[in-house]
Amino acid sequence: MSQGIPDSKRRGAETLHARVRRVTNPSQARIVGGRYRVLKRAGEGLTACVYFAEDMQTRRRVVIKQLTAEAASDTALATRFMHEVHAVAAINHPNVVRILDYGAPAYEQPFLVMEALPGETLSQLLHRENTLDFDLALFLSRQAAIGLCAVHRTGTVHRDIKPDNLFLAGPPGNPTGLKIIDFGMAQLPDNRHAIGDGRFVVGTLQYMPPEQVLADPVDARADIYSLGIVMFRLFTGHLPFEVDAGLDMLGHQLLSPLPPIGWLNEYVDPRLESIIVRATRKRPLNRYQTMAALLRDIETLGDVPLEAMNATTGRPTEPDEYLPVSARAQEIAAGLALRFRRTPKPPPPDPEEAPESTKPFDLARKR
């Protein structure tokens, strides 16, 4: 009986029940591209939403990325989205997420359809376990490098390599492979539709090289740096700079060398440390110049003596301070240097040998 329930509350309950019924009833579910039934929302970014869906023709589960209505109304963003689709589809590699379908119909926002795989992101695994078995960490590093070799062969730079964008296929905790996902920040081959375009920073600060921090031009060596930071995280259980993602992080990525890995994990092979050090040098010219070269050192890690590896990797060559390219980058770098680093000064003279007029001031005596 509803005698004791006020009409306003009863109408509200009926409305809520109707909304739930509309969402859960397959006949009322939203259809994308006339073929894909949306099951639930998986996530949302600045310009796009991601959904789990079902292909009504094959009954296969898929993942759909679709521009928001606001982003779709921006011609530049919509054009870039379709270029992203074509660029990723052209990679066609087992270690890169596969695009199954895409569309830009007049009656709805542009979308792309990707394979849906069982598994989890590397970020989820690290959140649960923090440190990984050495063999698993090396396997995942190699898989990521292989995938990025394929990405770079097409002229694409991912620009946002981090654990969130490395998907581990297979049972949680026991992955059988790795796939690179989310090319939303990628620099595409023709570079005509790049997000940022030197005007603002794109990517994730904790994993970004100095040139990307300063919105200078980037190439494949930016992904090499980012993968080096991921490897540092895999083999130590820590990020090299564990500070808030603000000015402090900007300053560290631009000015601070990585702490020695042996401080955090004394069991790391020095040859592996040499690889990570070379991948994460501040100057792009001091890093590996290609992902293939980094992959080769990962694959031959156990076969190359430390002395031979140090001849080509080792500790950073001097100088290894990043040299900004654009005037804006030079201005930002100068400001960060003033904030985080004092101007170097020559050592003070010996008090006993210095002339009286130049002897240092004794603060304790003056008090």
Is the Cα dihedral 178, 129, 226, 283 positive or negative?
Answer: negative
Q: 287, 218 in Cβ contact below 8 A?
A: no
Residues in the chain, total: 367
Residue whose token pair is 């059988």: 176
Q: How far apart are CA 226 and CA 137, in angstroms?
A: 16
Q: 84, 96 in Cβ contact below 8 A?
A: no
Taking the CB of residue 227, how many other CB atoms lie within 10 A of it?
28
Q: How far apart are CA 207 and CA 287, in angstroms?
A: 15
Q: 205, 245 in Cβ contact below 8 A?
A: yes
Catalytic residue from among 74, 133, 135, 160: 160
In what helix (H) or strand (E) does residue 124 lie, and over which residues does it extend? Answer: helix 122-129
Residue whose token pair is 């590397």: 122
In what helix (H) or strand (E) does residue 37 lie, and over which residues does it extend? Answer: strand 36-44
Taking the CB of residue 313, how many other CB atoms lie within 10 A of it?
22
Q: Annotated catalytic, 160?
A: yes
Structure tokens of 159? 């620009």
Q: How far apart are CA 21 and CA 16, in angstroms?
A: 9
Which of 341, 328, 315, 165 has its CA nearest to residue 252? 341
Single-letter code of the amino acid located at 359: K
Which of 238, 323, 239, 338 has its CA nearest to residue 284? 323
DSSP assignment string, 303-322: TS-HHHHHHHSSSPPS----
> Within 13 A of 263's CA, how many CA atoms are on the CB side?
7
Structure tokens of 318? 């001097």
Which residues are part of the catalytic machinery? 160
